[in-house]
Amino acid sequence: MAAKELAEKIGVSLPTILGHLQDLSEVGLVIVDHVKLNGKVVKKYRVVSRKIVLNIDIKRIREATREEEEKQVRSRIEELTLKYICLKRKRGKLPLTVKVRDVMRTLNVDLDTAIMIVEFFNTNYSLIVDYLSNEILNYVEEKGEATIREISDKLHLHPYWVVFATQNLSSKGLLVRTDNKVYSTRKYYARKSEGTWTKQK
| Amino acid 37: pLDDT | 76
Show Cβ contacts of residue 107 under 8 Å, excluding neighbours closer than 6 positions.
Answer: 80, 83, 84, 87, 113, 114, 117
Distance CA 95, CA 98 (A): 7
What digits encode the pLDDT tens for the residues 5-37?
877 877 777 777 777 777 777 777 778 787 777
What is the chain's Cα-based Rg?
28
pLDDT band at 46 (very low <50, low <70, confident <90, very high): confident
User: How far is the C-alpha of 131 from the C-alpha of 125, rounded, in Å?
Assistant: 10
Q: Which residues of 143-170 are buried (b: 16+ CB within 10 A; e: fewer)?
A: eebbebebbbeebbbebebbbbbbebbb
pLDDT digits (tens, 9 = 90+) for 123-148: 988 889 999 999 999 999 998 889 99
Task: Give the lowest-confidence range in 49-58, 76-85, 175-184.
Answer: 49-58
The mean pLDDT value for 177-195 works out to 75
Contacts of 198 (CB under 8 A, 6+ apart): none
CATH number of 126-194: 1.10.10.10
Among 135-139, 155-159, 197-201, which is the least confidently predicted range? 197-201
Domain positions in the chain = 3-47, 67-123, 126-194
Nearest-CA neighbor of 3 among 16, 19, 18? Answer: 18
* Confidence at residue 199, expressed as pLDDT on a 0 to 100 scale: 46
pLDDT tens-place string over residues 69-79 = 888 888 999 99
Alpha-carbon span 79 to 107, nearest angstrom: 11
- pLDDT for residue 56: 63
